[in-house]
Structure 1
Amino acid sequence: MFKKLKNKFIFMNMVLLTTVFVGIFGTIYVSTAYSLNNDMKMQLWNNIMSPQQQQKPSPKDNKMDMSIKIDLDTKNEIVNVTSRLNTDDLDIHAMVEKVVNNSKKMDSIKIDGESYAYLKESISSGTIIVLISKSFQQDVLGNLLKIFLGVGSLSLIVLFIISIYFTNKAIKPLEETFIKQKQFIADASHELRTPLTIIKTNVSILKENKQQTIESQGKWVNYIDSQASRMSTLINEMLSLANLDANKKKGEVTKFELSKILSDALLVFEVVIFEKGLVLEENINDNIFINGEKDQIKKLISILMDNAIKYTNKNGKIMVSLNIEKNKARLEVKNTGEGIEKEHLEKIFERFYRVDNSRDRGTGGYGLGLSIAKAIVEEHKGKIYAESVVGEYTSFIVELPVYFEKQKLINDLKIGN
């Protein structure tokens, strides 16, 4: 599909460029031909009006003025020939005959394969004929056409290569998005298929035991409830991603204190951390404000903390810090544990990506949490990345633009002006 799209783009580009080149070169060619033709007509009239004197060809003469002036008497007999050309090889009588027999006052004739423009003027003593060789004009136009064909062909080849490069560059993001979307649908279908299969199997078992009470079949009912909850979680996460992709904001963008939001969020997790036998260390600087959607930032913190709790080793430690670095609010959630190998660090933010499929399923993860976190951070014009040392720790760092009162004052002044 994308190959056809690329070819179509390249074809359209080349058709457009060829049309432009033909239009430009055609205009120049026609304009040059018109200008040369007008110059030749002017020279014909100038030679008609000039006094009769013998002119011999000279390299210093104007190359375009290769003229022959012939004076005829009333019987169309040649009286005098004045020429800038070497007339030894010319059939002057044939020229005169063709011009005299042509009813047009100004036209072109061809003698021995050579084209001439002529002008004839009747006077009391006979007729004056002036002929100018068109070889100069033909040479100019011929060379111009060769230049156009050469330059045009070379330019189109270069532009064809450039067009291929930029078309590939333009199509690549679309192709990658399409592949990711296709993979996303395939992964989502796979994730939904598993709980649906389990639910269907358990329902079949319940149908086979119609006479049994719900209490006696509680195990199967609990399985169904568990898988339904997993499906609900997955669907909600996919909807969150879809809304973020579509830039649909549910909350109001306001200035708020990130320090307080983070501290309040950690209070919720303290019980879970304590029950798991983990240690939580906090290093949160006060009065750090950002501009954004409060609920989304809460969700971001929740995702990072959930992730840290899931993968912290037994009796391990979770360290949360917040400070300002280079006018950015820097939030770091670090946990001890297995760590993540380097080749996985950049991929863990991709949708449905798991470093270890079995481990993620065991912790109830779908590989969407970090994708949602990344989308939230990017929505707030920030940056998120991971650092890890295998066997020691994993750290997720979020950098968000800090809200300064001074910046607000500058913005207000700009609006006022």
Structure 2
Amino acid sequence: MFKELKQKFVIINMSLLTFVFVAIFIAIYILTAFGGERQLAFDLDKIINAPPKPFPGGPRVATSLVVELNKNNEIIVFSSFIAMEEDIIKEAVSKAIEIHENSGKIKAGDFNYSFIKRETPFGTKIAFVDRSRLQESLRDILIIFVIVGGGSLIVLFLISVYLANRTIKPIKEAFEKQEQFVADASHELKTPLAIIKTNLAVISSNQEETIESQSKWIGFIHSQTERMSNLINDMLSLAKMDSLEQPLLFQSFNLSNVLDGVLLSFEAVLFENSIELETDIQEEIYFYGHKESFERLINILVDNAIKNTPKEGIISASLSSKKNNIEIIVKNTGAGIASENTEKIFERFYREDSSRSRESGGYGLGLAIAKSIVQKHNGKIYVESNIGVDTSFIVQLPQGRL
């Protein structure tokens, strides 16, 4: 599919470029030919009105010939600025006489001439002008077009192929990510559905049992429906973030208070997991953005830190304003993230653990949502990690209205 798309891109691009080149060439060729014909007509008109023999003050046009004929079409006199043999002159005169129009083009010998005829009291006067220069100019234009135009089209073809590759690459990546997203979503939904189906089968096979005795299986079903609900909500959040048709409602809010409030809600979880929390929050930092999204962002980062911090570990959260940027850092001690995975960690459904362990209860969508939130606010988010020591998620945001 993408190969065909690339070919269409190159074909359309080259067709348009070729059309433009040919149109320019035709325009130049026609204008040159038209200008040359006008100059020849001007020269013919000038020399046809000159005396039969040139004189120092009279008009002289290089590569021209003027012939006067009597009533019997015999040459009386001629003046020539062309090195022509007499039989060639007679051939030119004979062909000009045969043409009934008063002007035209003929070929005599190896050359082409334009001519004009005028009737005189003594017979006919014919002026000839050599067309060689005009023909050479037109031929040179054609050669230049073939060489320059052909060479340019080859270069432009290579550029078009390069641009096609660059243009198709993000589309291909987006398509592949979409396919992977659908496959991962299907995979993630398949497991809880299988568990629910199995537990329902167990309950159905023991219909004589009381609800209380079946509470274990009902609990499993409830936990899996919660997991599915969370997955669907996360997917909807990502879809909303990706949608350009549903802009977020931005307002100025106290980011310091938002960070304090979210951290406060995690106190019980931190205590339960024996994790120490350190904070360094600059007060009264205001930010223009979507408040609910930032509550979600900080929730995701802190929740992610808790899941990856061992007991007796430390999580630190800081907020500061530096020059024109606001910086949020959530840092936790723990195993760390391999350098080759620091970019992948923000991909949808990505888990550094290849076994895709679900012990944490997540689906690998949280950090993807966090990245979407930050990007919606023209910021950037990245990871700095020391293997076996700590991991820092750093969010940098521009101050002022976006």
Q: Which TM-score band applies after superposition, normalised by the shorter structure?
A: over 0.9
Are the aligned partners of 2:117 and 2:124 in contact in 1 as well (CA < 8 Å)? yes
Are the aligned partners of 1:251 and 1:294 in contact in 2 as well (CA < 8 Å)? no
In the alignment, the residues of structure 2 paired with residue 275 and residue 85 of structure 1 have an alpha-carbon distance, to the nearest angstrom, of 110
* 1:189/1:88 CA distance change after superposition, 3 Å: same
* 1:402/1:141 CA distance change after superposition, 3 Å: closer
In percent, how many aligned pairs have the same letter? Answer: 47
List aligned pairs for 1:15-30, cutoff 5 A. 15-30=15-30
Number of residue pairs aligned between Structure 1 and Structure 2: 399
Are the aligned partners of 1:36 and 1:137 in contact in 2 as well (CA < 8 Å)? yes
In the alignment, the residues of structure 1 paired with residue 226 and residue 284 of structure 2 have an alpha-carbon distance, to the nearest angstrom, of 38
Which letter does structure 1 place at the counterpart of 2:344? K
How far apart are 1:247 and its partner, in Å? 4.2
RMSD: 2.0
Are the aligned partners of 2:329 and 2:395 in contact in 1 as well (CA < 8 Å)? yes
Alignment TM-score, normalising by the size of structure 1: 0.91
Question: Are 2:296 and 1:284 equivalent residues in the alignment?
Answer: no
List aligned pairs for 1:260-275, cutoff 5 A. 260-275=257-272
* 1:197 corresponding residue in structure 2: 194
How far apart are 1:88 and its partner, in Å? 2.6
* 2:88 corresponding residue in structure 1: 91
In the alignment, the residues of structure 2 paired with residue 45 and residue 363 of structure 1 have an alpha-carbon distance, to the nearest angstrom, of 98
Are the aligned partners of 2:319 and 2:329 in contact in 1 as well (CA < 8 Å)? yes
Counterpart secondary structure, 1:313: coil
Are the aligned partners of 2:53 and 2:78 in contact in 1 as well (CA < 8 Å)? no
Runs of 4+ aligned structure 1 residues displaced above 6 Å come to none
Counterpart secondary structure, 1:353: coil
Question: Are 2:356 and 1:368 equivalent residues in the alignment?
Answer: no
Question: Are 2:113 and 1:129 equivalent residues in the alignment?
Answer: no
List aligned pairs for 1:262-341, cutoff 5 A. 262-341=259-338
Question: Are 2:387 and 1:390 equivalent residues in the alignment?
Answer: yes
Question: Are 2:165 and 1:179 equivalent residues in the alignment?
Answer: no
1:37-66 Cα offsets, whole Å, 9 max, x none, are 1111111111111122269xxxxx86xx31
Select between 42-51 and 237-246 the one with higher mean Cα deviation: 42-51
Are the aligned partners of 1:251 and 1:295 in contact in 2 as well (CA < 8 Å)? no
1:125-157 Cα offsets, whole Å, 9 max, x none, are 121111122222111111111111111111111
In the alignment, the residues of structure 2 paired with residue 290 and residue 235 of structure 1 have an alpha-carbon distance, to the nearest angstrom, of 29
Please list every run of 5 or more consecutive structure 1 residues that lacks an aligned counterpart in the other structure.
56-60, 412-417
* 1:414 corresponding residue in structure 2: none
In the alignment, the residues of structure 2 paired with residue 87 and residue 292 of structure 1 have an alpha-carbon distance, to the nearest angstrom, of 89
Counterpart secondary structure, 1:362: coil
How far apart are 1:206 and its partner, in Å? 2.0
Are the aligned partners of 1:360 and 1:366 in contact in 2 as well (CA < 8 Å)? no
List aligned pairs for 1:24-173, cutoff 5 A. 24-53=24-53, 65-88=62-85, 90-173=87-170
1:371-391 Cα offsets, whole Å, 9 max, x none, are 111111111221111111111
Please list every run of 5 or more consecutive structure 2 residues that lacks an aligned counterpart in the other structure.
none
Select between 289-298 and 159-168 the one with higher mean Cα deviation: 159-168
How far apart are 1:103 and its partner, in Å? 1.2
In the alignment, the residues of structure 1 paired with residue 111 and residue 246 of structure 2 have an alpha-carbon distance, to the nearest angstrom, of 80
* 2:231 corresponding residue in structure 1: 234
In the alignment, the residues of structure 1 paired with residue 105 and residue 356 of structure 2 have an alpha-carbon distance, to the nearest angstrom, of 92
In the alignment, the residues of structure 2 paired with residue 116 and residue 96 of structure 1 have an alpha-carbon distance, to the nearest angstrom, of 11
Counterpart secondary structure, 1:239: helix
Which letter does structure 2 place at the counterpart of 1:304? L
* 1:317/1:128 CA distance change after superposition, 3 Å: same
* 1:5 corresponding residue in structure 2: 5
* 1:14 corresponding residue in structure 2: 14
Are the aligned partners of 1:305 and 1:333 in contact in 2 as well (CA < 8 Å)? yes
1:349-408 Cα offsets, whole Å, 9 max, x none, are 1111101144641111111000111111111221111111111111111112335xxxx8
Which letter does structure 1 place at the counterpart of 2:173? E
How far apart are 1:92 and its partner, in Å? 2.3
Which letter does structure 2 place at the counterpart of 1:319? S
How far apart are 1:280 and its partner, in Å? 0.9
Counterpart secondary structure, 1:260: helix
Counterpart secondary structure, 1:87: coil
In the alignment, the residues of structure 1 paired with residue 213 and residue 371 of structure 2 have an alpha-carbon distance, to the nearest angstrom, of 45
In the alignment, the residues of structure 2 paired with residue 265 and residue 291 of structure 1 have an alpha-carbon distance, to the nearest angstrom, of 18
How far apart are 1:216 and its partner, in Å? 2.0
How far apart are 1:219 and its partner, in Å? 2.0
How far apart are 1:89 and its partner, in Å? 6.5
Are the aligned partners of 2:52 and 2:78 in contact in 1 as well (CA < 8 Å)? no
Are the aligned partners of 2:114 and 2:130 in contact in 1 as well (CA < 8 Å)? yes
Are the aligned partners of 2:13 and 2:160 in contact in 1 as well (CA < 8 Å)? yes
Question: Are 2:220 and 1:223 equivalent residues in the alignment?
Answer: yes
In the alignment, the residues of structure 2 paired with residue 345 and residue 371 of structure 1 have an alpha-carbon distance, to the nearest angstrom, of 12
Are the aligned partners of 1:360 and 1:367 in contact in 2 as well (CA < 8 Å)? no
Counterpart secondary structure, 1:396: strand
Counterpart secondary structure, 2:344: coil
